[in-house]
Amino acid sequence: MPNNSPTAVGPSEPPQSSKDAAAQARRLAMVDAINQVFTLFRLNYHNQYLKAFGNAAELNEVKRLWLEMLGRFDARTLLSAAKMVIETSEYLPTLRTMIHYCEKASSDLDLPDAHSAYIEACRAPSPKAAYNWSHPAVYHAGKRCDWYFLQTQPESVAFPIYRDIYEEICQAVRNGTQLEPPVPPALPEKAPEPLDRARNQEKLQALRSSLKL
Rounded distance between C-alpha atoms, residue 144 and residue 110, angstroms: 20
Q: What is the pLDDT of residue 25?
A: 84
Query: Worst-scoring range by mean pLDDT, 7-11, 31-35, 87-91, 129-133?
Result: 7-11
152-193 pLDDT per residue, tens: 999 999 999 999 999 889 878 876 688 888 888 765 555 555
Share of the chain above pLDDT 70, in %: 78
pTM score, two decimals? 0.50
- The residues near 69 (Cβ < 8 Å, ≥ 6 apart) are 95, 99
The mean pLDDT of 128-136, rounded to a whole number, is 93
| Statement: residue 111 has pLDDT above 90 | no
What mean pLDDT, rounded, does the chain reach? 83
**Run of H or E residues at 50:** helix 46-52
